[in-house]
A = this chain, B = another copy of it.
Amino acid sequence: MSKSYRVAILGATGAVGQELLELLENRNFPVSDLRLLASERSAGRTLPFQGENLPVEAVSEKAFENADLVLASAGGSISKTWAPKAVAAGAVVIDNSSAFRMNPEVPLVVPEVNPEAAANHKGIIANPNCTTILMTVAVWPLHKVSPVQRLVAATYQSASGAGAKAMEEVKIQASAILEGKQPVAEVFPYPLAFNVFPHNTPLNEFGYCEEEMKMVNETRKIFGSQDIRITATCVRVPVLRSHSEAINLEFEVPFSPEKAREVLSQAPGVKLVEDWKANHFPMPIEATGRDEVLVGRIRQDISNSCGLELWLCGDQVRKGAALNAIQIAELLVAKNLLKGAVAVSH
């Protein structure tokens, strides 16, 4: 007896919001009613869903009345304000912001890694940081075989991580540079077209930026392992969409590349991309629009007998955000953990 659900998307007009909308439709999520919520500024617009044009409403307390599921992707302060109200109204909130991720009462879930955590929610389930999701999907299958002791990451993060406006800005900057003009930076602090720079999130007293600390702390929480030692250097690159990561792993004992390949070729959410003869490995342009995290260049680290090197790319907007949230929702549906109503067959 299948149920269907009243869903609200908070932040429907953003890059992730639109991806959520597309995935709800494409994955046939059992939606009986869908409300698109955004700021006052976006209210009045319409967005297409299942052949209809749905209106975008300004978020308000009333908007969550009767909602079974709220998919929130409108930034931390918006989530802090509205998620508790949505929960009070009886909804389960899957929140894509960083607002609740490290709250010990809030599960932080990557369905390929810790699906069981989702059941222990108290109304809010947090969707991890994009870079962290992509990394955990690729590293968890190896960690299960032999616990990772230490992880050194360097990221190559696309403009999409900063939203649709950032993607547009990079294109405008590239155009300007190609015409011999000075690029203008507004979303990012520096021009990103034909440039790279360390991730522009606030730095802590130890010199790590927020994005790097998310990779450290969220990975530990998702893996349920406070022992794993992680360091990261997060860098923006002029790619429109999909992040890449160079990952150096240290195990307690040697982990052969052959074994890693065998493990990863069967891992959920992972696709091995390794054509050594053609020098063809994961690339962001090939990861874009795909559900899987592409993993390749798996090598024994020649500087460490217990080390492995790997390279991954994943669609930050999709698996790094919207898809992961939808997968969490699907988990809740499968375990009958959402209210909903028995669907009436048409």
* A residues in contact (CB < 8 Å) with B: 150-152, 154, 156, 170-171, 174-175, 178, 189-191, 193-198, 200, 202-203, 206-209, 216, 229-231, 233, 235, 237-240, 244, 246, 248, 257, 276, 278-281, 283-285, 296-304, 307, 309, 311
Contacts and interface: CB of A to CB of B under 8 A. Distances in A.
A178 B171 contact: yes
B178 A283 contact: no
A10 B208 CA distance: 45
Contacts of A302: 206, 208, 216, 229-231
B191 A301 contact: no
Contacts of A151: 303
Contact of A238 (B237, B278, B279, B309): B237
B283 A152 contact: no
A208 B239 contact: no
7 contacts: A150-B303, A156-B196, A196-B284, A206-B299, A208-B302, A229-B302, A231-B302
Contacts of A311: 198, 233, 235
A304 B229 CA distance: 8
B194 A231 contact: no
Contacts of A239: 194-196, 238
Contact of A235 (B175, B244, B303): B244
B230 A303 contact: yes
A305 B175 CA distance: 45
Nearest to A297: B198
Contacts of A154: 154, 233, 246
Nearest to A247: B233
A249 to B, nearest CB: 11
A162 B281 CA distance: 19
B238 A194 contact: yes
Given A207-B299, A208-B299, 6 more contacts: A150-B304, A151-B303, A189-B278, A207-B300, A207-B309, A231-B303
A306 to B, nearest CB: 12
A203 B276 contact: yes
The 3 A-B residue pairs whose C-beta atoms are closest, nearest first, are: A154-B154, A207-B299, A229-B303
B238 A238 contact: yes
Contacts of A209: 279
B309 A233 contact: yes
A278 B171 CA distance: 24
A87 B104 CA distance: 70
A244 B195 CA distance: 10
Nearest to A183: B285
Contacts of A276: 203, 207
A231 B309 contact: yes
A319 to B, nearest CB: 18
Q: Which of A151, A202, A309 has most chain B Cβ within 10 Å?
A: A309
Nearest to A195: B285
A297 B207 CA distance: 7
A230 to B, nearest CB: 6
B196 A301 contact: no
B196 A244 contact: yes
Contacts of A202: 279
Contacts of A278: 189
Contacts of A307: 231
